[in-house]
Structure 1
Amino acid sequence: PPFGTVEIKTEIKENFYIISVKDNGIGFTEQEKEKLFKQFGKIEHYGRGSYISTEGTGLGLYITKKLVELHGGEIWMESEGRNKGSIFYFSLPINKE
């Protein structure tokens, strides 16, 4: 949303770097969460009293997921529902070579 906040954190857990990106945006419903990382999983959002334009192909998170997995990591997200924001996480293994 306008004047929203984004918080980026990093941590090391076991043998992985964990990166999280948290916002206070309009969040996601359970049905929307199921589509997020799928090919052409574009989601139209309506929230906080106005339509939020979403341009794109619906491939961004799908491609990101494939790239993270190719590097031995995982990607996931959490959202408690509409108007509650969301947190996206991804992990990448620590290369000790």
Structure 2
Amino acid sequence: MPTRYRRRPTPVLAVQWTGVNEAELRKFAGFRFALIDDNEEIEVDDIDATARLLDETRGDWMPLVPGDWVVRCRGRYTAVRTADFAKDYELDEEQP
């Protein structure tokens, strides 16, 4: 289930990719989320990536490794590394 976090100071919804929560990410991000098939030939800099997220602004796919976060803010989705998420976001105590 998406949990509300606040990117100082903007509230966002986010789900962490665990490597096994495909259904949750598909429900949250829809067609923007996809697993990387072992037989699939894609250009990804991160060989540990197990999934990807479509960056609609740039029109390309961002790799996701387990632990990365998928963040939705103002209708846009982006991938955020764990360290960056911890630095830039905090739990929003005003959950809807």
Is the TM value for this pair above 0.5? no
TM-score, normalised by the number of residues in structure 2: 0.28
| Larger Rg computed on CA atoms | 1
